[in-house]
Amino acid sequence: MAIDAATVKKVASLARIREPEDRLEALAAELSGILQWIEQLAEVNTDGVEPMTSVVDAKLPLREDVVTDGGDVARILANAPKSVGGFFVVPKVVE
**Which of 5-9, 39-43, 49-53 shows the lowest mean pLDDT across its residues?**
49-53
Percent of the chain with pLDDT over 70: 100
What pLDDT was estimated at residue 56?
Answer: 84
Using 50, 70 and 90 to split pLDDT, how confident is the model at 5? very high
pTM: 0.49
Whether the predicted pLDDT of 71 surpasses 80: no
What angle is formed at CA 38 by the lines to CA 34 and CA 39, rounded to 5 degrees? 115
Dihedral sign from CA coordinates of 24, 29, 35, 41: negative
What pLDDT was estimated at residue 57?
Answer: 79
- Tell me which of 26 and 50 has the higher pLDDT: 26
What is the helix (H) or strand (E) element at residue 33, kind and residue range? helix 24-42
